[in-house]
């Protein structure tokens, strides 16, 4: 399951996400040294990571799972739903559409 975010300036959107996390405007997401994003509440932290890829007019987020742990529907549903919610809440003026695939996508790793 991947998240596809249509935006005229995908790099600017990704930079704005990291900046909002850094300045604590977004408090429920954090990123690691690879700049992959994880949902930070204790219940969900490090259960998965959203891995960004920049495409022409689109920012894609593939889901990375934990090693040797089977990805559950609940985890990928929560990660994609909460990430889309965060985007709509903070960056609705920078996006035109958000789509989630219903099954594993080539950008996913789990």
**Residue 110 has what pLDDT?**
58
Strand partners of residue 37: 31, 50
Phi then psi dihedrals of residue 45, to 5 deg:
-60, 130
Residues 28-68: tens digit of each pLDDT: 999 999 999 999 999 999 999 999 999 999 999 999 888 88
pTM score, whole prediction: 0.89
If DSSP codes are grouped into helix, strand and coil, which group holds residue 53?
strand
């Amino acid at each position: 399951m991947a998240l596809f975010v249509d935006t005229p300036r995908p790099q600017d959107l990704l930079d704005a996400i990291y900046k909002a996390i850094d300045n604590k405007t977004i408090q429920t997401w954090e990123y690691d040294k690879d700049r992959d994003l994880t949902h930070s509440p204790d219940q969900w932290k490090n259960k998965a990571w959203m891995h960004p890829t920049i495409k022409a007019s689109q920012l894609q987020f593939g889901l990375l799972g934990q090693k040797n742990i089977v990805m559950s529907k609940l985890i990928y549903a929560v990660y994609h739903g909460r990430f889309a919610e965060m985007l709509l809440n903070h960056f609705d003026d920078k996006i035109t559409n958000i789509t989630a695939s219903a099954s594993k996508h080539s950008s996913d790793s789990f």
